Chain A
Amino acid sequence: MLPFLLKRISTMILTALCLTFVVFYLTNLPPNLEKLAKSEAGSRITDDEVASWLERNGYASPMILRYGEWLGVVPGWTTADADGTVVAGRCIEKGQDPATAARFCGILQGDWGVSSVFKDDVSKIIGVRLTLTGILMFWVMVTMVPVSLLIGILAGMREGSRLDRSLSTFSISTAATPEYVSGVILIAIFASSITGLKWFKGSAASAMDGITFENFFLPVLTIALYGVGQVARMTRASMAEVMTAQYIRTARLKGVSFANVVIKHALRNALIAPFTVIMLLFPWLLNGVVIVETLFSYKGFGWTLVSAAGNNDIELLLGCSVVAVFVVLITQLISDIGYVFLNPRIRIS
């Protein structure tokens, strides 16, 4: 187990490094930096002024060095005045004595930079936003997992039955409906003046202060619907496969009741595949979160990512990508390890 884990984790770290470098590269292209200089120092500055602003703020050094600085493995940039005393630098905050500043300040040291739009520490912003998204995801999981497993098991236990046909059609249609479509349809039905139902609110902005059923149900349902389709289809396939296994027939022939066979014999084996799928669904749910938070103006992580990307807020976007990439990689790792634990037939050599 240990060599397997070590190998997986080292691949994971290498992947994370590559991905963050790609994000760093794409957010630090010359046009982006020029835009940043213009938004920070004034939109009418000349090309020479842009160049000197970039020079003064440490954007002139080669890309790979700046990536190292951002990561925290290369000493932060400093600028000195004519007689050689350090006046400004990456690690020197405003009003701080340059002598007391740290040499390294990057992600590894816990310094995530400052958002150029919100004028606040990136780590603080992301912390607040992630909590909001965490609440959303919690409720999504609470609705999605039981519903999808139930649908999948009911459909898969008698393959080809009428119940199976109708539940499968349902899960195919929800899996075919992206969040921006289902969200729009749900709002139009339950929150617009056309149908006059107005049961729920079409915006979740008020849910950031206090969650009520009225303002939180639609966003949760929108994300959960897509996941339900995916997980239910997997569960159904896996359940249907298990139900054709020899040991199930043996149990039935011995006279065990159908309900008992399903619950005691089939379920345990049938739930291994859905577990992996739920874990691997996280990257997709992340997409759903971005779409739904934009649609319902719920200012969580996804909303922050979109606004950072739209406003050329480089440090915040980098921070968001680090979080997003790690969520994806860690869920992959958990799904691998969990699969091994749940399925004793798999041996790692």
Chain B
Amino acid sequence: MQDLGWSGILIGILKNFLPVWISLVVLFAVSIRYKRRLGLYGKLFDSPIAMIGFALVMFWVFTAIFADLIATHDPLSQISQMKNKLPGTVQPDGVNWYLLGGDHLGRDVFSRVVEGSRIVVQIAPLATLFAFMVGVSLGLPAGYYGGRLDTFLSFLANLILAFPVILLFYLLVTPEIVETGMPQYMALVLFLFPIAFLMVLVNSRYYVVPEFRTKVLLVIGVIGGYLYLSLVGEVGTKVAVLPNALDLIHVPGNILIVFVSVVFVNSPTVFRIIRGIVLDIKTRDYVSAAQTRGERPWYIMLWEILPNARGPLIVDFCLRIGYTTILLGTLGFFGLGLSPESPDWGSTINAGRKLITIAPHPAIVPALALMSLVLGLNLLADGLREESLRD
């Protein structure tokens, strides 16, 4: 077997991504066919920019889903003869190619990028969602009640915002801090917000049907509480509540601290956005109408104000996933948190940059991957903004 030329490499890559192409075509065909019935999601398909953005994002989502099918090699296995080899080099045993070359340890760059998409696609949206829960639960009362509460919470938010992000990462994401159990304590506080949010959401809506409300609250409390304890606690660390047999989710300490610090950095900005929107919306007539009806504050906040703030929030959510992706890459770039072996894009760029003037491909490929995902999210947000402004 021979080394591949550029066209050979391109064909090889396109062929390997086959499951992704099929899923993308099916998704787009179905969505465009039924776009009139799909609300805001359907409107995406009226704007070419939003469609390009959505395609880029879904490309990486499907890549993460089918990563095991797409990757040609194990992301960690090393072949020493393949160190820094150019894209399209054939393996020494002649069976297969390194489609995008080998990195400084002789690992397949292509497979590592594909596997790395998993880490980003898993952590970034989830961390953003948590940041939104925290920001919304604090921003709504701050904007609605105002006064001391607002002053205090805004001061806290500004405090975190005035912190240079990289300094914060360097202080939070170190083995010493993980040793003190600090990430778990922070997780204890931050992860409480989603449960509290859901409970207040249900309680304020179904206050008038106590039996139903109590049932739903119990379900949320039990399932949420179990997930909460299992997510935060880990046997053998400072916070160990559940025994190992019952512990459903095992999150290694370093992933947890990455997750927590990303949520921590994002939530004050979300808080500020929500607070601003609430200050604007609470002067509207329908809020006064609800107040006159005698609705209680949390009902007004969650069921009158929040639904009407959804436009800017959805747009910001897209942008913020992109920002979180950048933050995750920054952490990897400085070798913080994730293990150096890990195929995530930031760490791979960090490993590849040392030899960049001689063999740039190990750093360039993950860099382009990260760029395309963030660009896709930004284009999607732009398209969403235009479409949501239209009506």
Q: Which of B171, B176, B360, B371 contacts A188 (CB 8 A)?
A: B360
Contact B333 A180 (CB under 8 A): yes
Known: A181-B367, A287-B164, A328-B164. A31 touches B159 (CB 8 A): no
CB within 8 Å of A: which B324-367 residues: 326, 329-330, 333-334, 346, 349, 352-353, 356-361, 363-364, 367
| Interfacial chain A residues near B379, Cβ < 8 Å | 172
Q: Which of B167, B357, B363 contacts A324 (CB 8 A)?
A: B167
CB distance from B6 to the nearest CB of A (A): 13
Contact A192 B177 (CB under 8 A): no
A2 contacts partner chain B, Cβ-Cβ < 8 Å: no
| Interfacial chain A residues near B170, Cβ < 8 Å | 305-306, 309-310, 317
Known: A172-B378, A184-B363, A309-B171. A291 touches B162 (CB 8 A): no
Q: When chains A and B are docked, how far (Å) is the Cα of A333 from the Cα of B64?
A: 44
Judged by DSSP, the binding face of A is helix
Q: When chains A and B are docked, how far (Å) is the Cα of A286 from the Cα of B166?
A: 9
Contact B179 A27 (CB under 8 A): no
CB distance from A151 to the nearest CB of B (A): 16
Contact B166 A32 (CB under 8 A): no
B322 contacts partner chain A, Cβ-Cβ < 8 Å: yes
CB within 8 Å of B: which A130-176 residues: 172-173, 175-176
B80 contacts partner chain A, Cβ-Cβ < 8 Å: no
| Interfacial chain A residues near B108, Cβ < 8 Å | none
Q: Which of B155, B165, B361, B363 counts the most chain A CB atoms within 10 A?
A: B363
Q: Which of B158, B161, B171, B180 counts the most chain A CB atoms within 10 A?
A: B171
Contact A180 B163 (CB under 8 A): no
CB within 8 Å of B: which A194-211 residues: 194, 202
| Interfacial chain A residues near B367, Cβ < 8 Å | 180-181, 184-185
| Interfacial chain B residues near A310, Cβ < 8 Å | 170
- In the complex, residue of chain B having the shortest beta-carbon distance to the beta carbon of A30: B180
CB distance from A102 to the nearest CB of B (A): 30
Contact B363 A31 (CB under 8 A): no
CB within 8 Å of B: which A1-55 residues: 11, 14-15, 18-19, 22-23, 26-27, 29-32, 35
B370 contacts partner chain A, Cβ-Cβ < 8 Å: yes
B239 contacts partner chain A, Cβ-Cβ < 8 Å: no
Contact A202 B356 (CB under 8 A): yes
CB within 8 Å of A: which B58-73 residues: none
Number of contact residues on A: which range applies?
35 or more
CB distance from A14 to the nearest CB of B (A): 8
| Interfacial chain B residues near A18, Cβ < 8 Å | 159
Q: Which of B155, B164, B171, B326 counts the most chain A CB atoms within 10 A?
A: B164
Contact B167 A23 (CB under 8 A): yes
Q: When chains A and B are docked, how far (Å) is the Cα of A47 from the Cα of B159?
A: 37
A335 contacts partner chain B, Cβ-Cβ < 8 Å: no
Contact A32 B176 (CB under 8 A): yes
| Interfacial chain B residues near A173, Cβ < 8 Å | 371, 375
CB within 8 Å of B: which A261-299 residues: 283, 286-287, 290-291, 294-295
Contact B163 A305 (CB under 8 A): no
Q: Which of B174, B322, B349, B359 contacts A184 (CB 8 A)?
A: B349
B90 contacts partner chain A, Cβ-Cβ < 8 Å: no
Contact B375 A295 (CB under 8 A): no
CB distance from A136 to the nearest CB of B (A): 16
Contact B358 A192 (CB under 8 A): yes
B382 contacts partner chain A, Cβ-Cβ < 8 Å: yes
A191 contacts partner chain B, Cβ-Cβ < 8 Å: yes
CB distance from A158 to the nearest CB of B (A): 17
B374 contacts partner chain A, Cβ-Cβ < 8 Å: yes
CB distance from A311 to the nearest CB of B (A): 11
CB within 8 Å of A: which B248-282 residues: none
Q: When chains A and B are docked, how far (Å) is the Cα of A29 from the Cα of B364?
A: 38
Known: A29-B177, A31-B180, A202-B356. A176 touches B322 (CB 8 A): yes
21 A-B pairs (CB sep. < 8 Å): A11-B155, A19-B159, A172-B375, A176-B371, A176-B375, A177-B374, A177-B375, A181-B367, A184-B352, A194-B359, A194-B361, A287-B166, A290-B164, A306-B166, A306-B170, A306-B334, A309-B170, A317-B170, A320-B167, A321-B164, A321-B167
Told that A184-B360, A202-B357 touch, could you supply 11 new A-B pairs with CB distance under 8 A? A19-B162, A175-B378, A176-B378, A180-B329, A180-B346, A181-B349, A184-B352, A184-B353, A283-B162, A294-B334, A328-B162
